[in-house]
């Protein structure tokens, strides 16, 4: 993405975590007793810059993706929370456009994989190639080695190819020819899928679904928003989609890492932490659910709550931050009972009943 303009001054001027210099204002506080804590004023300034950057990226994405503000917030929640996103919706709602717009705002490496029924795992991770000159095998890394990976129509590939993403999504590494190779940091997978009812699709394995921090559903836009979208698209130089070229590049890899670190340091009260765990545990015994959410859901709720708190400019996590991302965190981690499925109820409807009945701590 060398054609990006120079990053905006709104970027967080914080070194990435692995490059931080001891004694610098951005140095992460250590657990060691002889390491002085950074001044409170520096921490507040860094948080304010992070909030400004996150909100600037949100505003930039809204220029390209019209009528999907909630989805934009959720994608930024996953980015700041260090998780992966599964986007579901019928064709033509802008799933790929959203990822392309995020890649435009992000100055790191971006790769796209179009999943097809004949796609092989080695097409994703890479493979060994025999070099005739050196008479040795050389590793050729696949498109998985990037910062931002768009896995387009992931459910059109069979399970063995989908599983090629598992190690990278969880361990942040890929094993090629017996060698563990780390993927660049930060690393985020944004996978799009069409509904299972669409012809030629394969359901994702539960183990892979659990690796996604959030599952988002893109619905049809409102009438006014669709009118605005049609007006802008028909004025665009592209035939049937909005052009992301005018979007500004606002952040680099180190800025994303700084956002993730600053969000992870936001305070979470013990009662709010307990609320997140109670929500996840309630799904395991809730009537109408035959499969409940595992501990990864509790972790994702807290990570998502911290990210949402940073997006709204808060200084700490409140119960509404947890509740706001609960549907996206849990909808792909639970299974509806056949009885409720026959009655026409959806997973989201059951989860909304759960959220209404599990008491939240008073703010």
At 51, list the tokens.
Answer: 């909030």
Q: Distance between CA 114 and CA 177 in Å, rounded?
A: 24
The pLDDT tens digits of the residues spanning 15-46 come to: 333 344 333 334 334 344 444 455 566 888 88
Average predicted confidence (pLDDT) for the chain:
82
CA angle 112, 141, 192 (to 5 degrees): 25
Residue holding tokens 């509904």?
195
The answer on pLDDT for 198 being more than 70 is no
Most confident of 114-123, 129-138, 269-278: 269-278
pTM for the predicted model, two decimal places: 0.80
At 150, list the tokens.
Answer: 């768009």
* Mean pLDDT of the 117-144 span: 83
Q: How many helices (H) and strands (E) does the chain have?
A: 15, 11
**Closest by Cα among 115, 147, 151 to 1:** 147
Q: Which residues contact 279 (CB under 8 A, 6 or more apart)?
A: 297, 298, 301, 322, 323, 326, 330, 354, 355, 358
Q: Distance between CA 45 and CA 296 in Å, rounded?
A: 32
* 3 state SS of 170: helix
* Mean pLDDT of the 281-305 span: 93
**Residue of higher predicted confidence among 223 and 295:** 295
CB atoms within 10 A of CB 203: 11
Q: How confident is the model at residue 133 (pLDDT cuts 50, 70, 90)?
A: confident
**Closest by Cα among 95, 97, 83, 103 to 259:** 83
The pLDDT tens digits of the residues spanning 153-165 come to: 888 888 888 888 8
Sign of the C-alpha dihedral computed for residues 203, 204, 209 and 212 taken in this order: negative
**Residue of higher predicted confidence among 132 and 13:** 132
**CB-based burial of residue 200 (10 Å sphere; 0-12 exposed, 13-18 middle, 19+ buried)?**
exposed
First to last CA, the chain: 44
Q: What is the pLDDT of residue 196?
A: 62
- The full DSSP string for 329-342 is HHTTT-EE-HHHHH
Q: Which residues contact 48 (CB under 8 A, 6 or more apart)?
A: none
* Mean pLDDT of the 101-127 span: 87
Q: What is the pLDDT of residue 272?
A: 95
Q: Distance between CA 50 and CA 48 in Å, rounded?
A: 5
Sign of the C-alpha dihedral computed for residues 346, 75, 28 and 17 taken in this order: positive
CA distances from 301 to 154, 162, 166, 283, 304 (A): 24, 25, 21, 13, 5
Name 335's bridge partners.
291
Q: What is the pLDDT of residue 8?
A: 42
At 128, list the tokens.
Answer: 């060994």
Q: How confident is the model at residue 243 (pLDDT cuts 50, 70, 90)?
A: low
* Structural domains of the chain sorted by starting position, each given as residue range(s) with its CATH number in brackets: 10-18+39-265 (3.40.50.300), 266-363 (1.10.8.80)
Let me know: does 258 contact 266? Beta carbons within 8 Å.
Answer: no
Q: What is the pLDDT of residue 241?
A: 57
The answer on pLDDT for 357 being more than 50 is yes
Q: Distance between CA 328 and CA 324 in Å, rounded?
A: 9
Q: What is the pLDDT of residue 363?
A: 59
Q: What is the pLDDT of residue 242?
A: 61
Q: What is the DSSP letter of 317?
A: B
Q: Distance between CA 218 and CA 216 in Å, rounded?
A: 7
- The full DSSP string for 162-211 is HGGGHHHHHHSEEEETTEEEEPPSS-EEEEEE--TTSTT--PPPHHHHTT
The pLDDT tens digits of the residues spanning 163-174 come to: 888 888 888 888
CB atoms within 10 A of CB 16: 18
Residue holding tokens 């992460």?
28
The answer on pLDDT for 269 being more than 50 is yes
């Amino acid at each position: 993405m060398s054609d990006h303009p120079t990053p905006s001054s709104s970027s967080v001027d914080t070194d990435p975590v692995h490059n931080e210099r001891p004694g610098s204002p951005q140095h992460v506080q250590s657990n060691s007793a002889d390491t002085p804590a950074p001044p409170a004023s520096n921490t507040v300034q860094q948080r304010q810059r992070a909030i400004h950057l996150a909100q600037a990226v949100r505003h930039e994405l809204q220029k390209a993706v019209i009528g999907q503000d909630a989805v934009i917030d959720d994608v930024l929640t996953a980015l700041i929370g260090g998780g992966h996103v599964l986007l579901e919706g019928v064709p033509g709602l802008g799933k790929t456009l959203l990822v392309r717009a995020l890649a435009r705002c992000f100055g790191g490496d971006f790769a796209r994989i179009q999943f097809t029924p004949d796609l092989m795992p080695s097409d994703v991770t890479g493979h060994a190639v025999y070099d005739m000159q050196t008479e040795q095998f050389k590793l050729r890394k696949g498109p998985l080695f990037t910062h931002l990976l768009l896995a387009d129509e992931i459910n059109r590939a069979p399970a063995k190819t989908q599983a090629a993403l598992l190690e990278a999504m969880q361990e942040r590494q890929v094993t090629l020819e017996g060698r563990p190779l780390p993927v660049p940091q930060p690393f985020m997978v944004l996978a799009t899928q069409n509904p299972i009812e669409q012809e030629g699709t394969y359901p994702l394995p539960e183990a892979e679904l659990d690796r996604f921090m959030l599952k988002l559903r893109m619905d049809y836009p409102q009438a006014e928003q669709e009118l605005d979208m049609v007006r802008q698209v028909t004025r665009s130089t592209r035939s049937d989609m909005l052009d992301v070229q005018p979007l500004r590049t606002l952040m680099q890899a180190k800025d994303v890492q700084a956002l993730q670190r600053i969000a992870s340091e936001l305070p979470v009260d013990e009662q709010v932490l307990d609320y997140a765990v109670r929500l996840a545990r309630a799904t395991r015994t809730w009537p109408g659910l035959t499969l409940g959410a595992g501990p990864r859901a509790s972790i994702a709720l807290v990570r998502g709550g911290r990210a949402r708190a940073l997006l709204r400019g808060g200084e700490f996590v409140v119960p509404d931050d947890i509740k706001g991302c609960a549907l996206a965190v849990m909808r792909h981690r639970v299974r509806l009972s056949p009885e409720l499925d026959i009655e026409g109820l959806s997973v989201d409807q059951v989860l909304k009943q759960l959220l209404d009945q599990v008491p939240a701590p008073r703010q």
